[in-house]
Amino acid sequence: MKGSKRFYKKLSSMIAMGLVMSASGIVFAANTVELNLEDSVRMAMENNRTIKQSVADRKSSEWRLHNARRATGPNLGWSGSALHYGGSYYEDASYSNGYTNNLTLTYPIYTGGKNENTIKRNQYALNEADLTLEYTKQSIRYNTMQQYYRVLQCRNNIEVQQDSVRRLEVHLDNVNAQYRVGTVAKADVLQSQVELANARQNLVTAQNNYDVAMATLNNLIGLPTDTNLDIKDDLRYTKYNLTEEGCQDYALQNRPDNIAAEYAVKEAEAAVETAKAGYRPTLSAQAVKYMLGDKPFKDNAQEYWTAGVTASWNIFDNGVTAAGVNEYKAALEKAKEVAAKKKEDIQLDVRQYYLNLLAAEKNIHTMAVAVEEAEENYKIYLVRYSAGVDTNLNVMTAEEKLNAARMNYFSALYNYNTSKAALDSAMGVPVDVDASRYYEEELKSNSVKKAREAGEILPGTLVDSPIRHADGTPAQAVPRMENNGEKADVPKSEETPETVEPAGEASVEEELAK
């Protein structure tokens, strides 16, 4: 936590300094902040406004539950009146004013199950809000990682276009030299100039895409959009061995939105029971003290009190209660369908991102070979053209293919890394809350507090995976990190040199343990 605080303090001072300098009228270059993937995710967890909205929703659910619990206790109320009397009836009266003060103490004994089920309903809503917040954090983590990789891809694209411009500039110099001695036609010069102009335009586009990607990442992590980011990372291939079946099982047990959908069903069931309370009588204890007099709060006021129980039963309400019950039953059916659809969507997400990961891995291998072949092909045509045995058109075509191969290679790396991040998100790899542990404890104790304690992931600890090894021992997953009082998950895996190997298979817990 201390390291995180120092990081934010340093970062804040840098940004503040830039703002002060700008306000003073002195023109300085935009701030430059060194950033890596961990910093990006940490800052997103701290600053992202979507997460803050989910935090506010959870607080609202907490207060609704508090409200429902307070409704089961005693209620003390006061009512009073101050009246002036007139007319022939009061002509001979010794008073013309009247004051009343009544204190009423009420305690609900039986509400037909309304209060109890209202508490259940709001407690399940709070459980749902807890897991919705965790799901929001996981989504923001994925968005941040995806945009971080996008910045790296755009930076690589700039390098590709810069290399293309340099190659074409050298080639144009060579063509001009040959044209001056009369060995090539003017058309070759013009063609080379056009290709160079197109390459420079592509470089401008690549630079703009990089600036836009950087501004988008700044927006996600809470920095000013014009902040320059100095990112030391590179897009790399790191083997990620998983089986689709293991991913599916892990996702169904750990996706917080899946468990939140189950809580939504329980909430709807409690709403049905709450509505059924209209069929039943209510019973409450009541004590009332009455004070009447011609002067407010004087000793000569008359007073009396009553104490006892009151009961009421709405025997016939013209079908109002039945209509309300049927309304909530329909809502319950919808909640069940939403929960079932959520499971289907999770299975589709996992399969989609798993297949995308495999395809991207294969493309990395394919495009790595293609880049080598395109480089060799370009060199051959360049030598042949210089020797006068080939055309400038073939050189331009070879250069375009080399450029495209390198772009496709970096695109495959980007797709692989983003697919890996997307698969983590689709499986529900936790940020702050282990959803499966949270759910298990809540079922056992029926306590939000205990469920939070059981599901909380402390900084520096490892998550016990619900997936088991072949010998039955529990697996462990990703270590958690601190971020200025908040916990943020950054997938940890040992980066390996850029190598391409055939896709293999391993269990989810083994891969997450990296």
Alpha helices in 233-319 (DSSP H): 244-254, 256-276
> Which domain CATH number covers 394?
1.20.1600.10
Has residue 258 been placed in a domain? yes
Please state the φ and ψ torsions of residue 370, each to the nearest 5 degrees: -65, -35
Token pair listed for 193:
């100039």
- Total count of domains within the chain: 1
What angle, 0 to 180 degrees and rounded to 10, lies between the N-to-C axes of helices 435-445 and 448-455? 150
pLDDT given at position 1: 41
* Residue 47 to residue 247: CA distance in whole angstroms: 30
Contact 155, 212 (CB under 8 A): no
Question: Any residues with CB less than 8 A from the CB of 353 and at least 6 apart, and which?
Answer: 419, 422, 423, 426
- 392 assigned to some structural domain: yes
Strand pairing category for 474-476 and 464-468: antiparallel
Q: How far apart are CA 476 and CA 466, in angstroms?
A: 9
Alpha-carbon distance of 423 to 512, in angstroms, equals: 12
The span from the CA of 315 to the CA of 496, in Å, is 75
Residue 329 within a domain:
no
From 388, 370, 125, select the one nearest 262 (Cα to Cα): 125
Are 409 and 371 contacting, i.e. CB atoms less than 8 angstroms apart? yes
Residue 313: half-sphere exposure toward Cβ, Cα within 13 Å: 4
- Cβ neighbors of 159 (< 8 A, separation 6 or more) are none
Question: Is 141 inside a domain boundary?
Answer: yes
Q: How far apart are CA 105 and CA 289, in angstroms?
A: 9
Eight-state DSSP code of residue 30: P
Q: Are 37 and 233 spatial neighbours (Cβ–Cβ below 8 Å)? A: yes
- Whether residue 5 is contained in a domain is answered as no
| Whole-angstrom distance, CA of residue 360 vs CA of residue 363 | 5
pLDDT per residue, tens digit, the chain (514 aa), is 444 544 444 454 444 444 433 333 333 345 788 889 999 999 999 999 999 999 999 999 999 999 999 999 999 999 999 888 877 766 666 667 888 889 999 999 999 999 999 999 999 999 999 999 999 999 999 999 999 999 999 999 999 999 999 999 999 999 999 999 988 899 999 999 999 999 999 999 999 999 999 999 999 999 999 999 999 889 988 887 788 999 999 999 999 999 999 999 999 999 999 999 999 999 999 999 988 887 776 666 788 899 999 999 999 999 999 999 999 999 999 999 999 999 999 999 999 999 999 999 999 999 999 999 999 999 999 999 988 899 999 999 999 999 999 999 999 999 999 999 999 999 999 999 999 999 999 999 999 999 999 999 876 555 544 344 334 444 444 434 333 333 333 233 333 334 343 333 344 344 444 4
| pLDDT score, position 460 | 57
**Rounded Cα distance, 48 and 53, in Å:** 9
Q: Write down the pLDDT at residue 172.
A: 94
List Cα–Cα distances, 219 to 44, 140, 150, 222, 352, in angstroms.
9, 12, 14, 5, 28
For 179, 191, 193, 400, the CA distances from 199, given in Å and listed in that order, are: 22, 12, 10, 10
CA distances from 514 to 169, 241, 277, 434 (A): 46, 11, 53, 18
Task: Look at residue 296 in the predicted model and tell me its pLDDT.
Answer: 75
Look at residue 192 and tell me if it is in a domain: yes
**441 falls within a domain:** yes
How large is the greatest C-alpha to C-alpha distance in the chain, in angstroms? Answer: 134
The domain in which residue 409 lies consists of 31-73+115-279+340-512
Local structure of 271: helix, strand or coil: helix
Pairing of strands 282-293, 97-110: antiparallel
Residue 411 lies in a domain: yes
